[in-house]
Amino acid sequence: MTDLALLALDLGTGSVKALIVDSNCRVLASGAAPYPVERPHDGWAEQDPDRWWHASVEAARSALTAAGSPEIAAIGISGQMHGTVLLDAAGRPVRPAIIWEDRRSADQVRSLTKQIGADRIIELCGSALATGFQAATLAWLLEHEPAALAAARAVLLPGDYLRFRLTGDLVTEPSDASSTLLFDIRTRNWSNEILVAIGLDRSLMPQVMESTKITGDLTSEAATALGLPTNIPIAGGGADAPLAALAAAATTSDTLLLTISTGSQAILPATQPVVDPRGRIHTWCSLASPGSALPGWYQMGATLASGRALRWLREELLANSAAPLESSVAAVPPGADGIVFLPYLNGERTPHMDPEASGAFIGLRAQHGPAELSRAVMEGAAFSLLDAFSVLQELGGSPERIVLAGGGARSRTWTEIVASVFDLPVDPLEESEGSAMGAAIVAGASLGWFDLAEGAARSARIGPRIVPNPAAVEIYRELFPLFQHTYRALRDDFHRLGQIAARARSTSINA
Amino acid sequence: MSGTTGTDTLILGIDLGTTSTKAVAYDVRGRMVATAAMPTITHYPRPLWAYFEPDELWNAAASAVRGVVEQIGDPARIESVAVASFAEAGVPVDANGNPTYNTIAWFDRRSIPQADWLLETVGEQRLFERSGLALQPIFTLCKLLWLKENEPEVWARTRGWLMADSYIAWRLGGAPASDYSQAARTLAFDLQHLKWDSDLLAQVGIDPAIFSPVMAAGGAIGTVSTEGAAATGLVKGTVIGVGGHDHVCGAFAAGVTEHGAVLDSMGTAEALFVALDAPIWDPDLGRMGYTQGAHVAAGQYYGFGGLYTSGASVDWIRNITGREDRRALAGAAAEIPPGSNGATFFPHLRLSSPPNIDPKSRGAFLGLTTDIDQAAMVRSVYEGIAYEARMSIEPLVQFAGSASLPDITVIGGSSRNELLLRIKASVTNRPHHVLGLHEATALGGALLGGLAASIYRDAADVKATVEVDSNTIEPNPDAAAFYEDFFQNVYKQLYATLKPLNHAIYDQVVDLAGEATGP
For residue B474, the distance in angstroms to the closest alpha carbon of chain A comes to 10
Chain A residues touching residue B426 (CB < 8 angstroms):
511
* Cα maximum dimension of chain A: 70
Q: Provide ipTM, 2 decimals.
A: 0.87
Model confidence pLDDT, tens digit, residues A97-110: 999 989 999 999 99
For residue A291, the distance in angstroms to the closest alpha carbon of chain B comes to 43
What is the distance between the alpha carbons of residues B425 and B389, in angstroms, rounded to a whole number? 11
Contact map slice: B 307-326 vs A, CB within 8 A: 309, 312, 316, 319-323
Chain A residues touching residue B505 (CB < 8 angstroms):
338, 340, 362-363, 482
- Mean pLDDT, residues A246-267 taken together: 93
Chain A residues touching residue B319 (CB < 8 angstroms):
369
For residue A503, the distance in angstroms to the closest alpha carbon of chain B comes to 9
- Mean pLDDT, residues B152-178 taken together: 97
pLDDT exceeding 90 applies to what percent of chain B? 87
Query: Scanning every residue of chain B, which has its alpha carbon at the shortest distance from the alpha carbon of A501?
Result: B342
Query: Scanning every residue of chain A, which has its alpha carbon at the shortest distance from the alpha carbon of B509?
Result: A338
- Mean pLDDT, residues A403-432 taken together: 93
> Residue B516 pLDDT > 50, yes or no?
no
**Facing B489 at nearest CB: one of A366, A472, A496:** A496
Query: Scanning every residue of chain B, which has its alpha carbon at the shortest distance from the alpha carbon of A375?
Result: B519
Model confidence pLDDT, tens digit, residues B95-144: 999 999 999 999 999 999 999 999 999 999 999 999 999 999 999 999 99
Q: Which residues pair with A401 in a beta bridge?
A: A255
Chain B residues touching residue A486 (CB < 8 angstroms):
501
What is the distance between the alpha carbons of residues B135 and B200, in angstroms, rounded to a whole number? 14
> Residue B3 pLDDT > 60, yes or no?
no
> Residue B519 pLDDT > 60, yes or no?
no
Q: What is the pLDDT of residue B514?
A: 42
A122 Cβ contact list (under 8 Å, min separation 6) = A128, A275, A276, A277, A279
- Contact across the interface for A504 and B482, Cβ inside 8 Å: yes
- Mean pLDDT, residues B76-92 taken together: 97
Model confidence pLDDT, tens digit, residues A190-228: 999 999 999 999 999 999 999 999 999 999 999 999 999
Q: What is the pLDDT of residue A497?
A: 72
Residue B489 at interface with chain A, using a CB cutoff of 8 Å: yes
A57: amino acid identity, one letter: V
- Mean pLDDT, residues A35-50 taken together: 94
Chain B residues touching residue A416 (CB < 8 angstroms):
518-519
Other beta carbons within 10 angstroms of residue A145's beta carbon come to 15
Query: Scanning every residue of chain A, which has its alpha carbon at the shortest distance from the alpha carbon of B503?
Result: A363
Over the Cα atoms of chain A, what is R_g?
22
Secondary-structure percent of chain B, ordered helix, strand, coil, rounded to 5:
40, 20, 35
Give the best residue of B352, B368, B427, B428 to mutate against chain A (max A CB count within 10 A).
B368
> Residue B510 pLDDT > 60, yes or no?
yes
Whether A240 is catalytic: yes
Model confidence pLDDT, tens digit, residues B272-314: 999 999 999 999 999 999 999 999 999 999 999 999 889 899 9
DSSP E strands: which ranges in B248-357?
Answer: 262-266, 270-276, 291-294, 301-307, 344-346
> Residue A416 pLDDT > 60, yes or no?
yes
Give the best residue of B369, B379, B387 to mutate against chain A (max A CB count within 10 A).
B369
> Residue A35 pLDDT > 90, yes or no?
yes
Name the nearest CA neighbour of B503 among A235, A293, A160, A485: A485
Q: What is the pLDDT of residue B218?
A: 97
> Cα angle vertex B408, ends B404, B412, to 5°?
145
> Residue B76 pLDDT > 50, yes or no?
yes
**Contact, B301 vs B294, CB < 8 A?**
yes
A471: amino acid identity, one letter: A
Q: What is the pLDDT of residue A499?
A: 74
Q: What is the pLDDT of residue B518?
A: 33
- Contact across the interface for A478 and B485, Cβ inside 8 Å: no
Q: What is the pLDDT of residue A291?
A: 82
> Residue A275 pLDDT > 60, yes or no?
yes
Model confidence pLDDT, tens digit, residues B388-431: 999 999 999 999 999 899 999 999 988 989 999 999 999 999 99
- Which of helix, strand or coil describes residue A14? coil
Query: Given pLDDT bands bounded at 50, 70 and 90, which one contains residue B517?
Result: very low
Give the per-residue SS3 of A257-305: EEEECCCEEEEEEECCCCCCCCCCCEEEECCCCCCCCCCCEEEEEEECC
For residue A477, the distance in angstroms to the closest alpha carbon of chain B comes to 11
Model confidence pLDDT, tens digit, residues A296-347: 999 999 999 899 999 999 988 887 666 788 899 999 999 999 999 999 998 9
> Residue A509 pLDDT > 60, yes or no?
no
Query: Scanning every residue of chain B, which has its alpha carbon at the shortest distance from the alpha carbon of A495?
Result: B367
A473 Cβ contact list (under 8 Å, min separation 6) = A420, A423
Q: What is the pLDDT of residue B6?
A: 64
**Contact, B278 vs B301, CB < 8 A?**
yes
Model confidence pLDDT, tens digit, residues A54-64: 999 999 999 99
> Residue A170 pLDDT > 60, yes or no?
yes
Report chain A's mean pLDDT, rounded to a whole number. 94
- Contact across the interface for B367 and A494, Cβ inside 8 Å: yes
Q: What is the pLDDT of residue B438?
A: 81
Q: What is the pLDDT of residue A1?
A: 43
Chain A residues touching residue B369 (CB < 8 angstroms):
345-346, 358-359
Out of A102, A184, A217, A240, which one is annotated catalytic? A240
Q: What is the pLDDT of residue A354?
A: 87
- Which of helix, strand or coil describes residue A11? strand
Among A66-70, A146-150, A401-405, A487-491, where is mean pLDDT lowest?
Answer: A487-491
A201: amino acid identity, one letter: D
Other beta carbons within 10 angstroms of residue A485's beta carbon come to 14
What is the distance between the alpha carbons of residues B62 and B14, in angstroms, rounded to a whole number? 9
B51: amino acid identity, one letter: Y
**Contact, B311 vs B269, CB < 8 A?**
yes
Q: What is the pLDDT of residue B351?
A: 83
> Residue A2 pLDDT > 60, yes or no?
no
Q: What is the pLDDT of residue B48?
A: 87
Query: Scanning every residue of chain B, which has its alpha carbon at the shortest distance from the alpha carbon of A468?
Result: B519
Query: Scanning every residue of chain B, which has its alpha carbon at the shortest distance from the alpha carbon of A472?
Result: B519
**Cβ contacts from A onto B, under 8 A:** 198
- Mean pLDDT, residues B154-175 taken together: 97
Give the best residue of B317, B320, B478 to mutate against chain A (max A CB count within 10 A).
B320
**Contact, A421 vs A341, CB < 8 A?**
no
Residue B107 at interface with chain A, using a CB cutoff of 8 Å: no
Q: What is the pLDDT of residue A261?
A: 87
Chain B residues touching residue A316 (CB < 8 angstroms):
370, 372-374, 377
- Mean pLDDT, residues B345-356 taken together: 93
What is the distance between the alpha carbons of residues A284 and B380, in angstroms, rounded to a whole number? 42
**Contact, A219 vs A245, CB < 8 A?**
no
pTM for the structure as a whole: 0.86
Name the nearest CA neighbour of B399 among B265, B491, B277, B245: B277
* DSSP output for B390-447: HHHHHHHHHHTT-SS---EEEESGGGG-HHHHHHHHHHHTS-EEEE--SSHHHHHHHH
**Structure-model confidence comparison of residues B465 and B512, the more confident one:** B465
* Burial environment of residue A378 by CB neighbours within 10 A (0 to 12, 13 to 18, 19 or more): buried
What is the distance between the alpha carbons of residues A151 and A153, in angstroms, rounded to a whole number? 7
Q: What is the pLDDT of residue B308?
A: 86
Residue B506 at interface with chain A, using a CB cutoff of 8 Å: yes
Buried b (16+ CB within 10 A) or exposed e, A460-475: beebeebebbebbbbb
Torsion of CA A429, A431, A432, A433, to 10 degrees: 170
Model confidence pLDDT, tens digit, residues B224-274: 999 999 999 999 999 999 999 999 999 999 999 999 999 999 988 899 999
- Mean pLDDT, residues A432-437 taken together: 90
Chain A residues touching residue B365 (CB < 8 angstroms):
359-361, 364
Q: Which residues pair with B92 in a beta bridge?
A: B161
**Facing A366 at nearest CB: one of B309, B475, B482:** B309
What is the distance between the alpha carbons of residues B86 and B163, in angstroms, rounded to a whole number? 9
Report chain B's mean pLDDT, rounded to a whole number. 94
Residue B344 at interface with chain A, using a CB cutoff of 8 Å: yes
Give the best residue of A358, A416, A423, A474 to mutate against chain B (max B CB count within 10 A).
A358
**Facing B505 at nearest CB: one of A363, A420, A505:** A363
Among B12-16, B198-202, B239-243, B486-490, where is mean pLDDT lowest?
Answer: B486-490
B12 Cβ contact list (under 8 Å, min separation 6) = B23, B24, B25, B26, B65, B68, B78, B80, B81, B82, B234, B238, B446, B449
**Contact, B450 vs B241, CB < 8 A?**
yes
- Mean pLDDT, residues A368-388 taken together: 96
- Mean pLDDT, residues A474-492 taken together: 93
Q: What is the pLDDT of residue A210?
A: 96
For residue A1, the distance in angstroms to the closest alpha carbon of chain B comes to 48
Buried b (16+ CB within 10 A) or exposed e, A60-78: bbbbbeebeebebbbbbbb
* DSSP output for A211-229: TTSEEEE--HHHHHHHT--
Other beta carbons within 10 angstroms of residue B124's beta carbon come to 14
